[in-house]
Structure 1
Amino acid sequence: MTQPPQPQDNNPYAQQQPPQQQPGYGYPQQQPAQPYAPFPQQQGGFPPPQPFAPQGRSGNVALGIVAAVVVALVTAWVYGAIMKATEHEIGYAAVAVGALIGLVAGKVGGRSQALPFVCAVLALGAVYLGQISGYAMALADYTHISFFEALFDHFSLISEAWKHESDVLTYVFLAVGAVAAFGSSKKAAL
Protein backbone atom coordinates (compact mmCIF):
# COMPACT_ATOMS: atom_id res chain seq x y z
CA MET A 1 0.00 0.00 0.00
CA THR A 2 1.31 3.41 -0.87
CA GLN A 3 1.31 6.33 1.46
CA PRO A 4 -0.25 9.59 0.37
CA PRO A 5 2.29 12.30 -0.37
CA GLN A 6 3.12 14.46 2.62
CA PRO A 7 2.68 18.21 2.09
CA GLN A 8 5.98 20.01 1.82
CA ASP A 9 6.31 22.59 4.57
CA ASN A 10 9.34 24.84 4.35
CA ASN A 11 8.92 25.98 7.94
CA PRO A 12 11.54 24.04 9.94
CA TYR A 13 9.90 25.10 13.23
CA ALA A 14 6.47 23.74 12.43
CA GLN A 15 5.60 20.65 14.38
CA GLN A 16 3.82 17.91 12.54
CA GLN A 17 0.74 16.62 14.33
CA PRO A 18 -0.32 13.05 13.71
CA PRO A 19 -3.72 12.76 12.08
CA GLN A 20 -6.53 12.56 14.61
CA GLN A 21 -8.10 9.12 14.66
CA GLN A 22 -11.47 8.27 16.04
CA PRO A 23 -11.52 5.54 18.68
CA GLY A 24 -13.28 2.45 17.57
CA TYR A 25 -13.42 1.68 13.87
CA GLY A 26 -10.37 -0.54 14.27
CA TYR A 27 -8.09 2.18 15.70
CA PRO A 28 -6.69 1.91 19.24
CA GLN A 29 -7.54 4.58 21.84
CA GLN A 30 -4.82 7.28 21.87
CA GLN A 31 -3.77 9.70 24.51
CA PRO A 32 -4.57 13.35 23.74
CA ALA A 33 -1.77 15.12 21.92
CA GLN A 34 0.40 17.72 23.63
CA PRO A 35 -0.74 21.29 23.05
CA TYR A 36 0.66 22.69 19.86
CA ALA A 37 3.69 24.90 20.37
CA PRO A 38 4.59 26.87 17.26
CA PHE A 39 8.19 27.30 18.36
CA PRO A 40 9.81 24.66 20.53
CA GLN A 41 11.71 25.98 23.54
CA GLN A 42 15.38 26.10 22.71
CA GLN A 43 18.33 26.65 24.98
CA GLY A 44 19.05 30.35 25.31
CA GLY A 45 15.65 31.37 23.95
CA PHE A 46 13.15 33.61 25.61
CA PRO A 47 11.01 32.11 28.38
CA PRO A 48 7.32 31.74 27.68
CA PRO A 49 5.21 34.73 28.67
CA GLN A 50 4.00 34.74 32.23
CA PRO A 51 0.47 35.71 33.23
CA PHE A 52 0.01 39.34 34.17
CA ALA A 53 1.15 40.13 37.68
CA PRO A 54 1.64 43.56 39.22
CA GLN A 55 5.20 44.73 39.02
CA GLY A 56 7.08 46.04 42.01
CA ARG A 57 8.69 45.07 45.21
CA SER A 58 6.80 44.07 48.24
CA GLY A 59 8.08 45.42 51.49
CA ASN A 60 7.18 46.53 54.95
CA VAL A 61 5.37 49.86 54.60
CA ALA A 62 5.64 50.74 58.30
CA LEU A 63 9.39 50.11 58.25
CA GLY A 64 9.63 52.19 55.07
CA ILE A 65 7.92 55.11 56.78
CA VAL A 66 10.19 54.83 59.83
CA ALA A 67 13.26 54.76 57.56
CA ALA A 68 11.93 57.78 55.66
CA VAL A 69 11.45 59.73 58.91
CA VAL A 70 15.05 58.97 59.96
CA VAL A 71 16.38 60.02 56.55
CA ALA A 72 14.21 63.17 56.68
CA LEU A 73 15.72 64.20 60.02
CA VAL A 74 19.29 63.52 58.92
CA THR A 75 18.92 65.26 55.55
CA ALA A 76 17.19 68.23 57.19
CA TRP A 77 20.19 68.70 59.44
CA VAL A 78 22.59 68.36 56.48
CA TYR A 79 20.51 70.83 54.44
CA GLY A 80 20.61 73.29 57.35
CA ALA A 81 24.40 72.92 57.60
CA ILE A 82 24.74 73.58 53.86
CA MET A 83 22.48 76.64 54.16
CA LYS A 84 24.52 77.99 57.06
CA ALA A 85 27.83 77.38 55.28
CA THR A 86 26.74 79.00 52.01
CA GLU A 87 24.33 81.54 53.51
CA HIS A 88 21.89 80.71 50.68
CA GLU A 89 19.08 78.29 49.99
CA ILE A 90 20.22 75.73 47.43
CA GLY A 91 17.63 74.12 45.17
CA TYR A 92 19.72 71.04 44.41
CA ALA A 93 19.97 70.33 48.11
CA ALA A 94 16.16 70.40 48.40
CA VAL A 95 15.94 67.98 45.46
CA ALA A 96 18.51 65.72 47.10
CA VAL A 97 16.59 65.77 50.40
CA GLY A 98 13.38 64.70 48.68
CA ALA A 99 15.07 62.14 46.45
CA LEU A 100 16.86 60.47 49.37
CA ILE A 101 13.69 60.28 51.44
CA GLY A 102 11.77 58.71 48.56
CA LEU A 103 14.58 56.35 47.61
CA VAL A 104 14.95 54.90 51.08
CA ALA A 105 11.20 54.65 51.65
CA GLY A 106 10.66 52.96 48.29
CA LYS A 107 13.47 50.46 48.77
CA VAL A 108 12.44 49.53 52.31
CA GLY A 109 8.68 49.99 52.09
CA GLY A 110 8.14 48.52 48.65
CA ARG A 111 5.19 49.31 46.47
CA SER A 112 2.38 51.04 48.30
CA GLN A 113 -0.23 53.53 47.14
CA ALA A 114 0.21 55.71 50.23
CA LEU A 115 4.00 55.70 50.52
CA PRO A 116 4.75 58.33 47.82
CA PHE A 117 2.31 60.75 49.47
CA VAL A 118 3.85 60.15 52.89
CA CYS A 119 7.30 60.77 51.37
CA ALA A 120 6.13 64.03 49.80
CA VAL A 121 4.84 65.29 53.15
CA LEU A 122 8.04 64.20 54.89
CA ALA A 123 10.12 65.98 52.25
CA LEU A 124 8.12 69.19 52.77
CA GLY A 125 8.82 68.94 56.48
CA ALA A 126 12.47 68.05 55.98
CA VAL A 127 13.18 70.98 53.65
CA TYR A 128 11.35 73.34 56.02
CA LEU A 129 13.18 71.91 59.04
CA GLY A 130 16.46 72.17 57.13
CA GLN A 131 15.87 75.85 56.46
CA ILE A 132 14.89 76.43 60.09
CA SER A 133 18.01 74.51 61.19
CA GLY A 134 20.16 76.72 58.99
CA TYR A 135 18.75 79.80 60.70
CA ALA A 136 19.23 78.16 64.13
CA MET A 137 22.86 77.30 63.33
CA ALA A 138 23.52 80.87 62.22
CA LEU A 139 21.87 82.25 65.38
CA ALA A 140 23.86 79.85 67.55
CA ASP A 141 27.14 81.03 65.98
CA TYR A 142 26.18 84.67 66.23
CA THR A 143 25.05 84.56 69.88
CA HIS A 144 27.51 81.87 71.03
CA ILE A 145 24.82 79.53 72.35
CA SER A 146 24.20 75.90 71.53
CA PHE A 147 22.26 74.86 68.45
CA PHE A 148 19.51 73.21 70.50
CA GLU A 149 19.15 76.25 72.74
CA ALA A 150 18.83 78.46 69.66
CA LEU A 151 16.33 76.11 68.03
CA PHE A 152 14.07 75.42 71.01
CA ASP A 153 14.38 78.54 73.16
CA HIS A 154 14.32 81.02 70.27
CA PHE A 155 12.07 79.17 67.82
CA SER A 156 9.64 82.09 67.50
CA LEU A 157 12.53 84.41 66.55
CA ILE A 158 13.83 81.88 64.01
CA SER A 159 10.33 81.37 62.60
CA GLU A 160 9.87 85.13 62.19
CA ALA A 161 13.23 85.39 60.45
CA TRP A 162 12.26 82.53 58.10
CA LYS A 163 8.94 84.26 57.25
CA HIS A 164 10.70 87.56 56.66
CA GLU A 165 13.42 86.03 54.47
CA SER A 166 11.22 83.61 52.53
CA ASP A 167 10.39 84.40 48.95
CA VAL A 168 8.98 82.56 45.96
CA LEU A 169 12.09 80.38 45.67
CA THR A 170 11.67 79.21 49.25
CA TYR A 171 8.27 77.77 48.40
CA VAL A 172 9.53 76.42 45.08
CA PHE A 173 12.26 74.52 46.94
CA LEU A 174 9.65 73.09 49.30
CA ALA A 175 7.55 71.91 46.34
CA VAL A 176 10.54 70.56 44.41
CA GLY A 177 11.63 68.50 47.41
CA ALA A 178 8.12 67.02 47.72
CA VAL A 179 7.93 66.18 44.01
CA ALA A 180 11.38 64.57 44.11
CA ALA A 181 10.34 62.44 47.10
CA PHE A 182 7.10 61.37 45.42
CA GLY A 183 8.82 60.38 42.19
CA SER A 184 11.82 58.64 43.69
CA SER A 185 9.70 56.56 46.05
CA LYS A 186 7.62 55.28 43.12
CA LYS A 187 10.72 54.49 41.05
CA ALA A 188 12.59 52.84 43.92
CA ALA A 189 9.67 50.51 44.62
CA LEU A 190 9.77 49.01 41.11
Structure 2
Amino acid sequence: MTAPVPAPDGQAGPAAAPHFTIPAHHDDAPAGYVAPGMPGAPAPYAYAPLPTVARRPNPGGAVAAAVGAALVGGLAYGFVMKAIDHEIGWLVFGVAAVIAWPLGRIGGRNPVLPVAGAVLSVLALFLGQVFGVTLYLHEFTGLSVGELLGAEVDLVLEGWKANLAAMDALFYGIAVFEGFVLTRRMVRD
Protein backbone atom coordinates (compact mmCIF):
# COMPACT_ATOMS: atom_id res chain seq x y z
CA MET A 1 0.00 0.00 0.00
CA THR A 2 0.94 3.57 0.02
CA ALA A 3 2.19 5.53 2.93
CA PRO A 4 2.20 9.26 3.29
CA VAL A 5 5.50 10.83 2.37
CA PRO A 6 6.74 13.59 4.64
CA ALA A 7 6.99 16.97 2.93
CA PRO A 8 10.18 19.06 3.22
CA ASP A 9 8.58 21.24 5.91
CA GLY A 10 7.91 18.19 8.05
CA GLN A 11 4.21 17.92 7.44
CA ALA A 12 2.60 14.91 5.90
CA GLY A 13 2.08 15.30 2.14
CA PRO A 14 -0.05 13.39 -0.29
CA ALA A 15 0.29 9.70 -0.53
CA ALA A 16 3.05 8.45 -2.85
CA ALA A 17 1.97 6.84 -6.07
CA PRO A 18 2.41 3.12 -6.24
CA HIS A 19 5.61 2.04 -7.95
CA PHE A 20 5.41 -0.95 -10.23
CA THR A 21 8.43 -2.61 -11.73
CA ILE A 22 8.45 -4.30 -15.12
CA PRO A 23 10.54 -7.37 -15.27
CA ALA A 24 13.41 -7.06 -17.77
CA HIS A 25 12.49 -10.32 -19.44
CA HIS A 26 9.02 -11.70 -20.05
CA ASP A 27 8.72 -15.41 -20.00
CA ASP A 28 6.46 -15.43 -23.06
CA ALA A 29 8.61 -13.00 -25.16
CA PRO A 30 11.27 -14.46 -27.45
CA ALA A 31 14.88 -14.07 -26.39
CA GLY A 32 16.33 -10.76 -27.51
CA TYR A 33 12.93 -9.12 -27.96
CA VAL A 34 12.92 -5.32 -27.74
CA ALA A 35 9.59 -3.55 -27.76
CA PRO A 36 8.98 -1.05 -30.57
CA GLY A 37 10.03 2.47 -29.65
CA MET A 38 12.53 1.28 -27.06
CA PRO A 39 16.27 1.85 -27.44
CA GLY A 40 17.77 -0.90 -29.54
CA ALA A 41 14.54 -1.60 -31.39
CA PRO A 42 14.87 -2.09 -35.12
CA ALA A 43 13.86 0.76 -37.40
CA PRO A 44 10.40 0.63 -38.90
CA TYR A 45 10.07 -1.38 -42.04
CA ALA A 46 11.04 0.45 -45.22
CA TYR A 47 10.09 -0.40 -48.74
CA ALA A 48 12.71 -2.41 -50.51
CA PRO A 49 14.07 -0.62 -53.57
CA LEU A 50 12.93 -2.00 -56.87
CA PRO A 51 15.60 -3.78 -58.81
CA THR A 52 16.95 -1.70 -61.66
CA VAL A 53 17.08 -3.19 -65.07
CA ALA A 54 20.32 -2.45 -66.84
CA ARG A 55 19.62 -1.12 -70.31
CA ARG A 56 21.64 -2.73 -73.00
CA PRO A 57 23.15 -0.56 -75.72
CA ASN A 58 21.21 -0.50 -78.96
CA PRO A 59 23.46 0.71 -81.79
CA GLY A 60 20.83 0.12 -84.48
CA GLY A 61 18.21 2.16 -82.64
CA ALA A 62 20.79 4.85 -81.96
CA VAL A 63 21.65 5.19 -85.65
CA ALA A 64 17.96 5.30 -86.58
CA ALA A 65 17.31 8.04 -84.02
CA ALA A 66 20.40 9.96 -85.17
CA VAL A 67 19.28 9.80 -88.82
CA GLY A 68 15.97 11.33 -87.75
CA ALA A 69 17.85 13.97 -85.74
CA ALA A 70 20.04 14.72 -88.78
CA LEU A 71 16.99 15.25 -90.98
CA VAL A 72 15.31 17.50 -88.42
CA GLY A 73 18.56 19.37 -87.77
CA GLY A 74 19.14 19.88 -91.50
CA LEU A 75 15.62 21.19 -92.03
CA ALA A 76 15.95 23.54 -89.07
CA TYR A 77 19.30 24.77 -90.39
CA GLY A 78 17.73 25.51 -93.78
CA PHE A 79 14.76 27.32 -92.23
CA VAL A 80 17.05 29.46 -90.06
CA MET A 81 19.23 30.22 -93.07
CA LYS A 82 16.21 31.41 -95.04
CA ALA A 83 14.56 33.23 -92.12
CA ILE A 84 17.54 35.46 -91.34
CA ASP A 85 18.67 35.71 -94.98
CA HIS A 86 22.17 34.64 -93.98
CA GLU A 87 23.96 31.37 -93.27
CA ILE A 88 25.23 30.89 -89.74
CA GLY A 89 27.78 28.11 -89.97
CA TRP A 90 28.32 28.03 -86.22
CA LEU A 91 24.94 26.36 -85.85
CA VAL A 92 26.73 23.19 -86.87
CA PHE A 93 27.69 22.79 -83.19
CA GLY A 94 24.02 22.49 -82.25
CA VAL A 95 23.27 20.17 -85.16
CA ALA A 96 26.20 17.93 -84.20
CA ALA A 97 25.03 17.85 -80.57
CA VAL A 98 21.48 16.91 -81.60
CA ILE A 99 22.88 14.03 -83.64
CA ALA A 100 25.44 12.93 -81.03
CA TRP A 101 22.95 12.73 -78.18
CA PRO A 102 21.00 9.64 -79.36
CA LEU A 103 24.16 7.98 -80.66
CA GLY A 104 25.93 8.23 -77.32
CA ARG A 105 22.98 7.70 -74.99
CA ILE A 106 21.24 4.89 -76.82
CA GLY A 107 24.13 3.25 -78.65
CA GLY A 108 26.64 2.86 -75.85
CA ARG A 109 30.36 2.32 -76.43
CA ASN A 110 30.24 1.02 -79.98
CA PRO A 111 33.36 2.17 -81.89
CA VAL A 112 31.35 2.75 -85.09
CA LEU A 113 29.02 5.33 -83.56
CA PRO A 114 31.46 8.27 -83.40
CA VAL A 115 32.19 7.78 -87.10
CA ALA A 116 28.45 7.68 -87.77
CA GLY A 117 28.11 10.91 -85.77
CA ALA A 118 30.73 12.61 -87.92
CA VAL A 119 29.14 11.43 -91.19
CA LEU A 120 25.61 12.35 -90.11
CA SER A 121 26.75 15.82 -88.95
CA VAL A 122 28.24 16.55 -92.36
CA LEU A 123 25.14 15.17 -94.05
CA ALA A 124 22.88 17.37 -91.90
CA LEU A 125 24.94 20.45 -92.73
CA PHE A 126 24.76 19.61 -96.44
CA LEU A 127 21.01 18.98 -96.29
CA GLY A 128 20.49 22.24 -94.42
CA GLN A 129 22.38 24.23 -97.01
CA VAL A 130 20.57 22.53 -99.90
CA PHE A 131 17.19 23.07 -98.23
CA GLY A 132 18.00 26.74 -97.61
CA VAL A 133 18.92 27.18 -101.29
CA THR A 134 15.71 25.38 -102.23
CA LEU A 135 13.67 27.85 -100.18
CA TYR A 136 15.44 30.79 -101.84
CA LEU A 137 14.82 29.36 -105.32
CA HIS A 138 11.19 28.70 -104.44
CA GLU A 139 10.79 32.38 -103.61
CA PHE A 140 12.56 33.65 -106.73
CA THR A 141 11.37 31.17 -109.39
CA GLY A 142 7.89 30.37 -108.17
CA LEU A 143 8.55 26.61 -108.49
CA SER A 144 7.30 24.46 -105.64
CA VAL A 145 9.75 22.86 -103.23
CA GLY A 146 8.72 19.44 -104.52
CA GLU A 147 9.51 20.44 -108.11
CA LEU A 148 12.84 21.93 -107.07
CA LEU A 149 13.87 18.81 -105.17
CA GLY A 150 12.51 16.54 -107.93
CA ALA A 151 12.88 17.45 -111.58
CA GLU A 152 14.81 20.68 -110.99
CA VAL A 153 17.36 19.32 -108.50
CA ASP A 154 20.16 20.35 -110.88
CA LEU A 155 19.11 23.97 -110.42
CA VAL A 156 19.26 23.55 -106.64
CA LEU A 157 22.73 21.96 -106.74
CA GLU A 158 24.00 24.75 -109.04
CA GLY A 159 22.66 27.30 -106.55
CA TRP A 160 24.35 25.46 -103.70
CA LYS A 161 27.70 25.39 -105.55
CA ALA A 162 27.39 29.10 -106.32
CA ASN A 163 26.96 29.89 -102.61
CA LEU A 164 29.93 27.86 -101.38
CA ALA A 165 32.71 29.88 -99.79
CA ALA A 166 36.00 29.16 -98.05
CA MET A 167 34.27 29.32 -94.66
CA ASP A 168 32.04 26.41 -95.67
CA ALA A 169 35.10 24.13 -95.74
CA LEU A 170 35.84 25.19 -92.17
CA PHE A 171 32.28 24.45 -91.08
CA TYR A 172 32.31 21.04 -92.76
CA GLY A 173 35.51 20.29 -90.87
CA ILE A 174 33.91 21.43 -87.63
CA ALA A 175 30.92 19.19 -88.38
CA VAL A 176 33.19 16.15 -88.79
CA PHE A 177 35.19 16.91 -85.66
CA GLU A 178 32.27 17.81 -83.40
CA GLY A 179 30.13 14.93 -84.64
CA PHE A 180 32.91 12.51 -83.69
CA VAL A 181 33.93 14.09 -80.39
CA LEU A 182 30.44 14.85 -79.08
CA THR A 183 29.28 11.30 -79.80
CA ARG A 184 32.16 9.94 -77.74
CA ARG A 185 31.38 12.35 -74.89
CA MET A 186 27.67 11.56 -74.81
CA VAL A 187 28.25 7.89 -73.95
CA ARG A 188 26.56 7.03 -70.67
CA ASP A 189 28.81 5.19 -68.25
Please give the range of the TM-score, normalised by the shorter of the 2 chains: 0.5 to 0.7
**Preserved CA contact (<8 Å) 1:75 1:97:** yes
Q: Which residue of 2 aligns with 1:38?
A: none
How far residue 113 of structure 1 moved from its aligned partner, in angstroms, is 0.6
1:27-176 paired onto structure 2 within 5 Å? 58-176=56-174
Partner Cα distance (1:174, 1:89) in 2: 13
Please identify runs of 4+ aligned residues in structure 1 that moved more than 4 A.
none
Partner Cα distance (2:171, 2:150) in 1: 24
Identity percentage of aligned residues: 34
Bigger radius of gyration, 1 or 2? 2
How far residue 167 of structure 1 moved from its aligned partner, in angstroms, is 1.1
TM-score between both structures, scaled by the size of structure 1: 0.66
- Give the AA of the match of 1:180: E
Aligned length: 134
**Preserved CA contact (<8 Å) 2:97 2:182:** yes
Structure 1: which 5+ residue stretches go unaligned? 1-56
Partner Cα distance (2:136, 2:129) in 1: 11
How far residue 141 of structure 1 moved from its aligned partner, in angstroms, is 1.9
Higher relative contact order, structure no. (Cα contacts within 8 Å, ≥ 6 residues apart): 1
Deviations 1:62-103 (A, max 9, x none): 111111100000110000001111222212211111111011
TM-score between both structures, scaled by the size of structure 2: 0.67
Structure 2: which 5+ residue stretches go unaligned? 1-54
Once superposed, what is the RMSD of the aligned Cα atoms?
A: 1.5
Tell me which of 169, 178, 181 is aligned to 1:180: 178
